[in-house]
Structure 1
Amino acid sequence: MLKVLVAEDEPWIRAAIVEMVESIGHDIKVVGDVTNGVEAWHMIQQMWPTVLITDIMMPEMDGLELVRNISENKIPMAVIIISGYENFQYAQKAISYGVNRYLLKPVNREDLRDALLEAMGKLTEIEKMNHYLIRIQTYFDTINDVDPSGGIKSIYKLVDDIKTIKHLNYGAYLSLLRIIESKIGSLLASIEVEHKTMSQFNGIPDQEIRAHLGKLAESWFLNPERNKKEFKQIIKSACDFIHTHYQDDLTLTQMAEYTDLSISHFGSLFKRYTGESLISYINQVRVEKAKELLRNSNDKLYSISEKVGFSSQSYFIRVFKNYTGMSPNEYRKSLGI
C-alpha cells in the first residue's frame, strides 16, 4: 500500500489534493496532511510514509529544504513536488534531491494519478528499508510499555539487526543509526538530561556504536524523571483543547504553540501519552461528534461534516468509514433512524 503524506499550507488546496489522492484507489491512502515543512519532517519521522506530496513554497521550512533533508538522511520514499512556479531552477534543484515528479498547479488528477502509480512501481524497493523504519518507530511507540531491562535488551537487538544491511546499503545503515540516536536524544532532551551524540557514525567500529546507543537507552530507562506528571498534564490540556476546538483547522504547529513546546517535542509527547498521532486523535474526536449528530439530529451529511471540521463531505465519509467500518448513512440505518 502507498502511504501518502500531503504538505501544503493553503487549506483548500491541501483538501483538494487529499481528495484526489483518496479517489484514485489502487491501495493508495493518505496517512496525514500538514501545513508546512517542519510539520511534514516531524510526521515523516513518526509515520514513515512511502510517498510525500509537497508544495515548494511553504512557511517554516519550504519544500526544497524538506526534500533535501529526506535526501541527506536517505529516507526511502517517493517525492512528488507541486508548485505554482514554472521555474527551471526549482525543478533542477528538486531533481538533484531525487524527486520523482514535479507537477505544476493547478494539479491535474490524471498527472497525479500517473505519478502515484509510478511510485507504486518502486514500492518493493522502498519497503526494504521502510521495514526497519517501522521497527524503529514501533520500538519508540511502545518504549513506555516495557520494563527497563527488556527495553535496553531490545535496543541492542535492534542495532544488531540493522547491522545486517551494512554491506548491502551502507548509507541506509548510517541513516538508521542516526534516526535511533535522534529519537533517544529527543526523549532525553524532553526531561532535560544532558547526553552526548556522535557527530557521525561513518568509520566508527560496530561495537562502539552499539555501546553508545545502549548507553543512551540506559540513560532514558533508568531516569526516574521519564514519566513526569507535568508532561501528562500538558497533553491532557491539549486533548481538552481539541475536544473544544475540533471544528477548527487544527495543526501540529498550532498545538505546539498552545502547549509552548517545539513541534517535535509536542508530537513525541502526544504520541507517547495518547498512543495516537495528532491527526488520528483529531479525526477520532470528529467522528465521535459526528456520531452524536447522526443519532440526535436530522442534519444532512454535508452539514454534519462541516460542523465537525472536515474539509469536504466525501473526505468525512471516508474517514468515518475507516474508524467505524460503515458509512454515516449506514450508521444511521443501523440505529433504526
Structure 2
Amino acid sequence: MNILIVDDEPIFREWFQMTVAKLGGSYHIAGESANGLEALQFCRDHAVDLVVTDVKMPGMNGIELIQNLKQELPRIRSVIFSSYNEFQFAAEALKFGASEYILKAEITLQGLSEVLGKIETDMELDHSKLVEINSLRNLLNQNQLALRTVYLRELLLGGQQEITDFHKKMELFDIVLTEKNMTILALGVLPSSEPKIKEEDLRQLAVTNIVNETLLNEAGNGCSFQYEDHVYMLMVNIRSSSMKSQRESLLLVASRVMENLRKYIGVQCAIGISTTYSQLTFMPEQAREALEALQLPLFYEDRSIVYAQSTGGAASTELIPVPDTFHRFLESGQLGQASAACREFLDTMAKHHTLSAKQARAVVLELTYAMVNKARSYQVPASKLDLLYSEAHMEVVQLTTFLQLRDWTLRMVDMIVNWIESYRRKYGEAVQGACDFIQSRFTEELTLQQVAEQVHLSRNYFSELFKKETGTNFNEYLMQVRLEHAMQLLRTRPLKVSEVAERVGYANASYFIKLFRKYTGSSPHDYMESYQGSKHR
C-alpha cells in the first residue's frame, strides 16, 4: 500500500513515517506534502493508494483535498488525522469519502495498525469485486459475440428466418447495416503475416474489432465476423457519390481495412469483393463470389484486392502450361538441368499467378510423377518410389499456398535426383552417353549400329564395351528400359495393352505380351488389374 502523508507540521510527518516503519508489512511511504495543493499534484503524478491528511493547512485544507480526490482520483482512499475534535470537520470528511477521522492525540501503534489493516482489506475486497465484474462483463460480451457470429453465418447461408429477423437482429446486436447496396467482402489472413498478438483468440478478436471500427469510420456502417480459420466475412453498405463511384468507395474501404490490420497488429491480408445487391436473398451468392475472388490472392499469398467479376484470370483447363523444358532435360538424363528447369517453371507460375490452386496441384504432381518414373529406369528401389508415389497426392492436397507447393515440389525433385545419383550405375562417358540416348529414344526402332554411331565407336567395339560395363547386352538393356516404362504406364493409365506396346516401341502386341510376362511374371492385363485394384482398396 502506497501512502502519502499530508501535514503542514514536519514533526507529525516524521513521526508518522517512523510509526509506519515499525508496523512493517506491505505499507510504504510514497511521499509527503505540506498542503493540499502539493498533495493533489503528487497524486496526479504518482501511484498512491492512501492519503493521510490533516484538516487545517495553507492553500488547500484536508477537506478540500479529499473532495478533489473524490472527483479526479476516486480510487485513492483517505484518512484524516486532526487535532480538532469538532463534529463539523468529521461530518464533512466522511461526507466526501474519508475512511476514518482520527484525533492525533488518540493515535496508538495498535490503533494505526487496525486502521491501515481495515483499509487494506477494503481495497482487496474492491479489487476482487472489480475482477468479478470484469469477468462477468467479458463473459456477456463473448456470449453476445458468439450469438452474433452464429446469426451472421446463417444469414450468409440464406436462412429464411435470419432474413426475416434481419432488422430486429441488427438492432439487437447494435449493427449499423441495411439490405440496400449490400456488399460482401471476404478477408483472408496471409501465412506471411507476423502478427504482434501471438494468442490466437486475442488476435481474432483484434481483427474483428479493427475491421468493424474501420468500416464505421470509412463507410458509416458495416460489421465483420470470423467465418473460418484465417478467413473473415465483412458486410457493408456502399453507395456511389458525386465524388466517387461505388467501386472506388469499396476499394478505399478495403484498402483502409488492409492497412489498419497491418499497421496495428501486423496482419497481412487479401480481400475478395462480391457484386452489390439490395436484396438479402442474394447473400449466399455474394458470399460465394467473395470467397472465390479471395482464392487466388490467398493461394499466391498476394496482398491484393480482387473483385468477383475479375477472377477469370486463372488459366482454364486447356491453357495449363506444360513444362516442356523440364521434360526434355529429364528424358535426356540431364538431371541438374531438369531440376533447374523445374525451379524456373515454378517461379514463372508464382510471378504470373498462372494457375488456380487445383490446377497448380495437378501440375506439381505431374512433375513429381515424371521424376519418379525416371528414377525407376535408373534402378532406384521400387519400395522408395512406390511409397513416394502413393503419398504424394495426400501431401499435396494439404498444402494451402503456392509457396508451400513450390517448396514441396523442389524438395521432392532434389530428393529424387539424389536417389538417382546414388543408385545409377557409373559408366564410362561412352556407355553413359549411350544409356542416356536409349532412355530418350527407346520408343523408336533403335539398332546397335545407331547407338554406336551416336557415341562415335565402331559397332563391335561398342557392343563389347557396353556388355562389359553394364553386365547386359544392348538388346537386353533396351528391352528393360521399354518394359519399365510399360509397367509405369500400366500402373498409372487405363490403356489398352496394344496402346502400351506401341508407346514403348513394340509394334507387335503379342511379342510385347510375351516379353512382359517373362520380365514380370504376369501378363500386362493382370499387372494393370492388380495395381488398379490395390490402388482403390
TM-score exceeds 0.5: no
* More contact order relative to length (CA 8 Å, sep ≥ 6): 1
- TM bucket by the smaller chain? 0.3 to 0.5
Looking at CA atoms only, which structure, 1 or 2, has the larger radius of gyration?
A: 2
Q: Given the two structures, how large is their TM-score scaled by the length of structure 1?
A: 0.37
> Normalising by structure 2, what TM-score?
0.23
